[in-house]
Structure 1
Amino acid sequence: MIRALHRWPGLLALALVTILALSGAALSVFPAAERLAALQPETGLTVAALADRIRAVHPGVEQIRRSPSGRITAYWFDQGAPGAAVIDPATGEGVASADPNQAERWLTNLHRSLFLGDGGRIAMAAGAAAMLILSLSGAALVARRAGGWRHWFARLRGPLAGRLHVEIARIAVVGFVLSSTTALWMTASTFDLLPDGGAIPAMPTEVSGATGFALDRMATLQQTPVAELRELSFPYPGDATDVFTLKTDRGTGYLDQGTGALLAWTDLTGWERVSETIYMLHTGQGAATLGLVLGLMALGVPAMGVTGVVVWLAGRRGRPRIRGNQPAGRAETILLVGSEGGSTWGFAATLHTALTQAGQKVHTTPMSAFAPERYAMAQRIILLAATYGDGAAPASAKGFLDRLNACDRAADIPLAVLGFGDRSFPAYCAYAESVATAAEAKGWPELLAFDTIDRQSPQDFARWGRALGDALRVDLELSHQPVLPKTETLTLVSRRDYGAEVQAPTAILRFALPRVTLWQRLVGAGFARFEAGDLIGVLPEGSAVPRLYSLASARCDGFIEIVVKKHPGGLCSGQLTALEPGDTVTAFLRRNPGFRPGPSRAPLILIGAGTGIGPLAGFVRGNTRRRPIHLFFGMRHPKSDFFYGEELPAWQDEERLVRLVMAVSRVEHPHYVQDALRDDAAQVTRLIRDGARVMVCGGREMAAGVADTLAEILAPAGLTPAVLKAEGRYVEDVY
């Protein structure tokens, strides 16, 4: 509900909110510029002295105004002709034109009403209301994604557009709320929808009837500093019944022009002070610095608009359209999906279609939208859950366990959990298993025993579907065809071969960049943007399941590069290592933002073995800022599989790589990266204690050994890999 409340106002009102924000940001500059240009009066200058100076220069002065910036403007008649000027308070003389800045006037009309009068004001008020809804719903979504309000600034993961969207929101949401609420208040005030609340003193009925009392002798004007002045209006010439009207920060009063006596006075009411404060907060008049800050925050609106659209489009591409999706309150089956890259949504679509054809009313939604109180007609809940990293929740399941644990009691709705993962990973289906355990502990009835799907196997899914059909007493055949991302054709331009001497043929394959469209460049789709450490998915001939390989290059390098080892019986690795320059392969890009060096200048400790050197070499190649990088590289023998042996020494000479430590295992005295770390324990500990980031890439056994070794050598320093992971300073990409 909150996500929909955030998405649709944002998409529908994007242009209006953008105009509102950009024009407001531009207008925020003028109060600051006026403040800098205003001639400030000397300390202690009174309204009496100022008025006397101005009248001496302009005898026909009718009104003196002081703006919140301190600029003083006088208005007069000279031989029947009106005049106005910005006044130098030291002399009372005009120093600049009083005419409003034309650019400011144009922007103000655009900002307030789109040049459309009252109709435009209503439209812009609707834009302000949309901004307020977006701000509040967005804040709730940020808190949900971060794991609660207390973790507002927690480290994010995910695609760049989504992270940038949230980072801007974290900082600017307060400004958005303040600007939109004050805009709505001012619009309501313009249309007289708010109580007046002001108090104006009644015009005096008894005056002296005299004229010409000296300004510098009027006690009230003598006691009022210029810093408190808002407006001083002079009596109409020749009218002995008229009075001086004085408006200050404290209130409004009338002065007798013949005696200088204060005839009436009324203080500002609390309501007037609130209204003036809101005006100041919105316009920056009287608070120029705050206005500039809010203006800078407003510039985040178009950036958030662009990134929001990119995230929305990416979500639509990654999530198949669910036809016939029933409302949650009328569905018999609730299908909840926890997916990171989108593949689990494909299985959910297949299941949704099969259940619908079997006569079921099905509601399919992300696990993050779990709301059992809405499932009025539900007879069962089915969860399809992938696992991110070492057992973390995938993107669309954020906050699910918190909601499950927050339930006062389990609903009387049978529940089934199906996990998706890869058995070659230690944390195989760990998140789905934690969900099943939590549901059992909470007392949810079990529809089916916890089960798993290995490597997106259609056969495993069909088997589980038959078991589900038996439980539901329906004939359920799940024939799943994976929905792959849009692929590109990559052409091999060069290859370097290694490992034949040790019966481990491996190749560094370099492909040409495919052509990208203008739209792909704008939204970052396809291969328009990628970094070393991202993944490419290759669909081998004769298989429906893609294989993923870590990239050893970034877009700026001008090519796509991977390191592939031929595995015995390996379908994809066999086809890739058989390619010759000019041959092509079909592939797609998958982001891997959790495995990036990050923008910090802290040292990097890169640890890899075998083909795990690929993305690590890409990080070194891209280290143009000369960030200190220490590389621990495990290989069988330098004569057979010293991958990037030509480039690494050159990168050291260019200071892209500070130190290279090799561990060779196929020699008389085998040495592994774990041994190299132990040998260098003191320096590794010092680097990590000083803030270094550790990145590990390679086989899961090697990664597990590295983690154990680091736990051993870091123990005296009171550090562990688990602590470093929690701090975001220890990341793995294992296979």
Structure 2
Amino acid sequence: MIRALHRWPGLLALVLVTVLALSGAALSVFPMAERLAASQAVAGQSVADLAVRVAATHPGLEEIRRAPSGTITAWWFDGGTPGSAVIDPATGADVGSADPNPLERWLTNLHRSLFLDDAGRLVMAAGAAAMLVLALSGAALVARRTGGWRHWFARLRGPLTGRLHVELARVAVLGLSLSAATALWMTASTFDLLPDGAQRLADPAAVSGQMAFPLERMAALRDVPVHTFRKLSFPYAGDAQDVFTLSTDAGTGLIDQGTGELLSWSDLTPWQQLSETIYMLHTGQGAAVLGLILGLIALSVPVMGATGALIWAAGRRGRPRLRDNAPAGRAQNVILVGSEGGSTWGFAATLAHALKDGGQTVHVAPMSGFDPAHHPLAERVLILTATYGEGDAPASAKGFLDRLDRLPKAPTAALAVLGFGDRSFPAFCAFAAEVEQAARAKGWATLLPMDTVDRQSPQDFARWGRALGEALGMPLALDHQPARPDAHSLRLISRRDYGAEVQAPTAILRFALPKVSLWARLTGQGFARFQAGDLLGILPEGSALPRFYSLASGSDDGFVEIVVKKHTGGLCSGQMLALEPGEAVQAFLRRNPGFHAGQGRAPLILIGAGTGIGPLAGIIRANARRRPVHLVFGMRHPDSDFLYGDDLAAWQAEGRLTRLSTAISRGARPHYVQDALRAEAPLVAQAIRQGARIMVCGGRDMAQGVARALEDILAPMGLTSAMLKSGGRYIEDVY
């Protein structure tokens, strides 16, 4: 519901809110410009003193006004000819034209009404309402994504487009809500829907009938400082019954021109005070710095609009179109999906179609929107979820466990959990297992024990479907064929071979960067923008399932590079090691922001063995800012598989690599990465105290040994690896 409330106003009103935001941002500059250009009143100057000075210059004075910026403007008649000017309050002399800025007037008319008068005002009010809905619903979605309001500024991951959208929203939501709400208030005031209109002062019971009382002797003017003054209207020349009208921040009064006596006074009503405050907050008139801040925030709107549209388009591509997705409140079956790359949605669609064919009503939704209150008729909840990294929630399941924990009691609908992953990884279906454990702890009744699908296996999925069908008392055939990802042809341009002497053929394969469309460059999609640590999906011949390799290069390098070791019986690795320069493979890119070096100058401790050197080498190659980097690299023998040996020496000479420690596992005295780490314990501990980030890449056994060594190094400092991981300072890419 919240997602739809955010999506459709954003898409339908994108142009309108963009016009509002950009024109508002441009208008925010003028209050500050006026404030800087205005000649300010001298300290302690009164309205009486100001009036005397201006009247001396312009005897036919009719009115003096002070703008919120402090600019003083006067209007007069001179021999029947009207005149006006901006006034220096210290001298009463003219210092500039009083004519309004034509650009400011044009922008104001555009911003308020699209040059369409009242009809345009209503249209722009609709735009402001859309912006308010977008801001409030966006805030709710940010809180959902980050795991709650308390984690508002939690570290984000995922594609750049989504992260940029949320990062801007986190900063801008308060300012945009303020601008939109104040705009709606001002529209209501314009159409007299609020009791904030100016009150007409009652005519005085009697006036003196005298004229020309000295301005400097009028107590009602002497007692008002210029900085609280707004307007002083002079009596009509020759009319003894006319009076001065004085307006200040406090209210409006009438002054006898013959005696200087205050004849009547009316304070601003609370409604008027509130409306004036809202006007100040919206326009920046009287709060120029705030106006500039809100103007800068408004500039985020077109960026969020563009990124939001891209996210929507990517979502439509990443999720299958679900035929007849039942409303949440009417569905018997609720399928909740946890997906990072989008493949799990395809399985969910297959399950939904099979259940519908069996006469069931089905609603499919992301796990992040989980709320049992939305599904009053649900008889069962079927969770299909992948795992991100080392057991974390995938993107569309963010916040699910927190929502489950906050429930006062378990949902009544029976639960079945199906995990998706790769059994070769140590955290195989770890998040699905955590969901199942949390549900059991909550007392949630299960329909089936948790099951798993290994590497998108259609057979595993079909087997689980048969078990689900038996539990439901209906035949359920799940025939799912994973969609083949859109791939590019990558042409091999060079290869460097290692490992033959130790019976572990390995190669550094460098491919030419494929041609990238202008749209991809603008949006950062595909091969337009990537960095070391992202993943290259290879589609081997004879298989629909991709194999993923960590990238050893970034888009700035101008090529695509990976490190591949041949595995006995390995379909993909065998084909890759057989490639010759000029030949090509089908491949696609997948972002892996959880294994990026990040920004900043804090040291990096890179730890890898074998092909795990790939992304670490790419990180070192990209270290143009000479960030301190300590690499601990394990190999079998330096004569056979010292991957990137010459490059590392060159990078060390260039200052891209600060220190290199090696561990050789073959020979008379086998030495492993964890041993090298312990030998360097003082240096490692010093770097950690300086805020170092630890990045580990390689096999799971190596990673476990490294983890044990690090625990020993961290213990004297009162730290643990879990503490570093929670702060994003210890990350792994383990296979």
Q: Is it true that 1:67 corresponds to 2:63 in the alignment?
A: no
Amino acid aligned to 1:651: W
Deviations 1:96-146 (A, max 9, x none): 000011111111111101111111111111111111111111111111112
Q: Hey, what does 1:165 align to over in structure 2?
A: 165
**Larger deviation, residues 464-473 vs 293-302:** 464-473
Q: Hey, what does 1:123 align to over in structure 2?
A: 123
- Structure 1 CA distance, aligned partners of 2:464 and 2:41? 83
**Larger deviation, residues 422-431 vs 604-613:** 422-431
Deviations 1:273-295 (A, max 9, x none): 11111111011111111111111
Q: Hey, what does 1:186 align to over in structure 2?
A: 186
Tell me the CA shift for residue 334 of structure 1.
1.3
- Structure 2 CA distance, aligned partners of 1:487 and 1:3? 30
Amino acid aligned to 1:86: V
Q: Hey, what does 2:652 align to over in structure 1?
A: 652
Q: Secondary structure at the match of 1:594?
A: helix
Deviations 1:54-90 (A, max 9, x none): 1111111100000011110000111111100000112
Question: How many aligned positions are there?
Answer: 735
Q: Hey, what does 1:594 align to over in structure 2?
A: 594
Amino acid aligned to 1:245: T
Give the conservation status (yes or no) of the 8 Å contact 1:330–1:376.
Answer: yes
Q: Hey, what does 1:537 align to over in structure 2?
A: 537
Percent identity, aligned pairs only? 71
Tell me the CA shift for residue 402 of structure 1.
2.2
**Larger deviation, residues 436-445 vs 547-556:** 436-445
Deviations 1:140-196 (A, max 9, x none): 111111221111111111111111111111111111111111100001000111113
Give the conservation status (yes or no) of the 8 Å contact 2:383–2:416.
Answer: yes
- Structure 1 CA distance, aligned partners of 2:327 and 2:222? 73
Give the conservation status (yes or no) of the 8 Å contact 1:533–1:596.
Answer: yes
Q: Structure 2: which 5+ runs fail to align? A: none
Q: Hey, what does 1:3 align to over in structure 2?
A: 3
Deviations 1:225-254 (A, max 9, x none): 111110000001111110000111121111
Q: Structure 1: which 5+ runs fail to align? A: none
1:709-724 matches, within 5 Å, as 709-724=709-724
Amino acid aligned to 1:401: L
1:521-532 matches, within 5 Å, as 521-532=521-532
Give the conservation status (yes or no) of the 8 Å contact 1:652–1:659.
Answer: yes
- Structure 2 CA distance, aligned partners of 1:499 and 1:112? 71
Q: Hey, what does 1:102 align to over in structure 2?
A: 102
Amino acid aligned to 2:19: I
Q: Hey, what does 1:375 align to over in structure 2?
A: 375
- Structure 2 CA distance, aligned partners of 1:192 and 1:499? 83
Amino acid aligned to 1:379: E
Q: Hey, what does 1:661 align to over in structure 2?
A: 661
- Structure 1 CA distance, aligned partners of 2:678 and 2:440? 43
Give the conservation status (yes or no) of the 8 Å contact 1:385–1:418.
Answer: yes
Give the conservation status (yes or no) of the 8 Å contact 1:200–1:252.
Answer: no
Q: Secondary structure at the match of 1:95?
A: strand
Amino acid aligned to 1:380: R
Q: Hey, what does 1:245 align to over in structure 2?
A: 245
Q: Secondary structure at the match of 1:64?
A: strand
Give the conservation status (yes or no) of the 8 Å contact 1:386–1:431.
Answer: yes
Q: Hey, what does 2:290 align to over in structure 1?
A: 290
Q: Secondary structure at the match of 2:645?
A: coil
- Structure 1 CA distance, aligned partners of 2:140 and 2:368? 13
- Structure 1 CA distance, aligned partners of 2:273 and 2:553? 61
Q: Hey, what does 2:453 align to over in structure 1?
A: 453
Q: Secondary structure at the match of 2:595?
A: coil
1:162-311 matches, within 5 Å, as 162-196=162-196, 198-311=198-311
**Larger deviation, residues 349-358 vs 282-291:** 349-358
Q: Hey, what does 1:514 align to over in structure 2?
A: 514
Q: Hey, what does 2:29 align to over in structure 1?
A: 29
Deviations 1:610-657 (A, max 9, x none): 000101110011111111111111111111111111211111111111
Q: Hey, what does 1:146 align to over in structure 2?
A: 146
Tell me the CA shift for residue 198 of structure 1.
4.4
Give the conservation status (yes or no) of the 8 Å contact 2:6–2:137.
Answer: yes
- Structure 2 CA distance, aligned partners of 1:327 and 1:226? 63
- Structure 2 CA distance, aligned partners of 1:217 and 1:414? 86
Q: Secondary structure at the match of 1:527?
A: helix
1:264-663 matches, within 5 Å, as 264-663=264-663
Q: Is it true that 1:93 corresponds to 2:97 in the alignment?
A: no
Tell me the CA shift for residue 525 of structure 1.
2.2
Give the conservation status (yes or no) of the 8 Å contact 1:486–1:526.
Answer: no
Deviations 1:3-38 (A, max 9, x none): 111111111111111111111111111000100000
Amino acid aligned to 2:585: V
Q: Secondary structure at the match of 2:552?
A: coil
Give the conservation status (yes or no) of the 8 Å contact 2:35–2:70.
Answer: yes
- Structure 2 CA distance, aligned partners of 1:230 and 1:329? 57
Q: Secondary structure at the match of 1:511?
A: strand
- Structure 2 CA distance, aligned partners of 1:626 and 1:513? 26
Deviations 1:395-454 (A, max 9, x none): 111122222233333333221111111222222111111211222232222211111111
Give the conservation status (yes or no) of the 8 Å contact 1:198–1:271.
Answer: no
Amino acid aligned to 1:542: G
Give the conservation status (yes or no) of the 8 Å contact 1:335–1:348.
Answer: yes
Deviations 1:371-394 (A, max 9, x none): 222323322221111111222111
Tell me the CA shift for residue 578 of structure 1.
0.4
Amino acid aligned to 1:427: A
Q: Secondary structure at the match of 2:593?
A: coil
**Larger deviation, residues 210-219 vs 196-205:** 196-205
**Larger deviation, residues 696-705 vs 421-430:** 421-430
Give the conservation status (yes or no) of the 8 Å contact 1:17–1:131.
Answer: yes
Give the conservation status (yes or no) of the 8 Å contact 1:10–1:134.
Answer: yes
RMSD across aligned positions (CA)? 1.2
Give the conservation status (yes or no) of the 8 Å contact 1:198–1:269.
Answer: no
Give the conservation status (yes or no) of the 8 Å contact 1:335–1:382.
Answer: yes
**Larger deviation, residues 528-537 vs 443-452:** 443-452
1:16-55 matches, within 5 Å, as 16-55=16-55
Deviations 1:584-623 (A, max 9, x none): 1011111001111111110000001100010111001111
Tell me the CA shift for residue 521 of structure 1.
1.7
- Structure 2 CA distance, aligned partners of 1:266 and 1:51? 22
Distance 1:652 1:213, change over 3 A: same
Tell me the CA shift for residue 504 of structure 1.
0.4
